[in-house]
Structure 1
């Protein structure tokens, strides 16, 4: 079987190089190079890259062979394995990482180091490589109640989120039992992230329960904070008051979905009061400004939803000042218009350009969780379909409905698919030939579960 040494020997023979010549090209000591070729010395990653470059090959050409020779067929050495993992991650050679790590984790002595590399890759946003390491460490963890295992499961939960609501539900359910094993401060971020996932899949009872738990645990941490030394390193992603405010924002959103708008406004006022803190730092002020923006927008929304049509005009001004809120804002106005029979053609005309950019690469997605944006598009087009149909603009309504059906199919949102199929069935006679053909094409791709 070919190995790296035989490749080097064949190359030297083919190119007619003496060992001394090639050692100068590769910038490796001739004695070292001779020992590598004879197999009496293992090469480092740096030497491998130098030899690969000297042979005119792309970096990483020999990594699969190197992984087998150094870490599978031979006893692995961490001094070589660590840089190998980082370089494979940088070059996106994930299959090689998986192959090597599967063998390496048989030795429990490497678990600590592998976890540290996973954390480093995670912090560098090299998420796919980090996920491989987290999963291997979690599978190899002997102590099922360890904080390290819980942190691995937390990272896996964050990295496993997909556009499928069922995948996200499974990930959330699997992660829940590990929350109590995390550091008490880290638990706040974990609960926030868990509640956000339940929000994207419309499990509002779960959002409510975890939001109240977040509020309870934050109150405990705030009490503990007053007793700690002030220079203790913070483990939460945000200042503690953020979590108290966010818990109440979530509860306000829950009541909003239940159409209990008086309660929604009460919790809105509560989180607006929480952010009134003395002597805020620059970080604090940025968070305060964000909650103030959300609070202003939500006050308009809740009043529009109880039938105060006059609030639409100032809300439009708010959306113009905060273009990242346009998707959510137009969705809210559409829902209200469908409930109360408002004509909002002037609103749709005013925001025609951003609407045309929805669901394209030009739309700014930076300020939202991508699952929330995807869900927002689906609901937006469904409400748009209802609105246009209510206005007897059947062609526009069916176009929006087909867009919603297509997005829901791609996101495996079966409930929304069923709603689209029902609405289309009701107005099938209004569809033109092009729309009927598109409907047929989308339906053929559907794989709805049978009951």
Structure 2
């Protein structure tokens, strides 16, 4: 179910994600209640062979629900979910591993609360959020994506913040795991929009082509269409080098289609 939630997140299937998060939470709650019942009756507590402690599944289900609410602009509901995984210490017998997991969710809650507040219009929190990102570099990639999204949404100038993190952000393209590639796409796409709004068309084209490549790499048709639409609004000022890179991405897409054709014929299609 965790893998299903991660896949739904990458493909922005919010309905499936919300439904699966609810099921995961209900399972975790049933297991917890059963354990509490056995403890109250002084009976042997049943064990369940799970990959992670039970506290992780409580936290993860609330985290995923909060992300869906954030993506849908339901910021008050998102905060409700954040508060629920911000403090998981109410669970008994966490053990060392469980306490570490609870602490990880506490840090995530702080980061995501910043995100929800900023996206809901409290842009005065940007300075504090930048300090948080300096202290928690593992949150920098999604964090800068959020800053750029807010900048585009509310017409902000965040050049100084981008300059502050320029050295660290230069390494974003080295990530290979699906989760970070998804975050990197969001960063590139919103950076392209930010440069477009500022009238920096060459930079906007560069980041549009980069986000187009990432959308293709992750097989996300919706993001790919979004990038193509943005590219068309900028096409008139494209350079030869940018045009070459753009057609390389298209050629790679066409190459995959051609490669699939023999398989379809062999299958009798």
Question: Quick one: which of 4, 18, 28 aligns to 1:218?
Answer: 28
Matches for 1:436-451 after TM superposition, within 5 Å: 436-447=243-254
Cα deviations by residue, 1:280-316 (Å, 9 ceiling, x for unpaired) = 4211221111011001101111110011111111111
Q: Report the TM-score when normalising by structure 2.
A: 0.87
> Which runs of at least 4 in structure 1 moved beyond 3 Å after TM superposition?
228-234, 273-280
Contiguous gaps of at least 5 residues in structure 2: 258-269
1:76 corresponding residue in structure 2: none
1:195 paired with 2:195, answer no
Q: Report the TM-score when normalising by structure 1.
A: 0.53
Contiguous gaps of at least 5 residues in structure 1: 1-190
1:353 paired with 2:192, answer no
Distance in 1 of aligned mates of 2:89 and 2:2: 17
1:375 corresponding residue in structure 2: 182
Matches for 1:300-449 after TM superposition, within 5 Å: 300-360=114-174, 370-447=177-254
- CA offset at residue 241 of structure 1? 2.6
Q: Work out which of the two has the higher radius of gyration on C-alpha atoms and give 1 or 2.
A: 1
SS at structure 2 position matched to 1:235: coil
Cα deviations by residue, 1:227-272 (Å, 9 ceiling, x for unpaired) = 1755755411222232122211111111001001011111111222
Matches for 1:176-191 after TM superposition, within 5 Å: 191=1
**Aligned partners of 1:331 and 1:383 also within 8 Å:** yes
2:264 corresponding residue in structure 1: none
1:244 corresponding residue in structure 2: 58
Question: Quick one: which of 98, 108, 112 aligns to 1:284?
Answer: 98
- CA offset at residue 412 of structure 1? 2.4
Distance in 1 of aligned mates of 2:64 and 2:178: 16
The number of equivalent residue pairs is 252
Distance in 1 of aligned mates of 2:180 and 2:72: 21
SS at structure 2 position matched to 1:427: helix
- CA offset at residue 409 of structure 1? 2.2
Distance in 1 of aligned mates of 2:246 and 2:205: 10
Matches for 1:103-142 after TM superposition, within 5 Å: none
RMSD: 2.0
**Aligned partners of 1:208 and 1:254 also within 8 Å:** yes
Cα deviations by residue, 1:384-419 (Å, 9 ceiling, x for unpaired) = 110111111111111111111122223322222221
SS at structure 2 position matched to 1:259: coil
1:257 corresponding residue in structure 2: 71
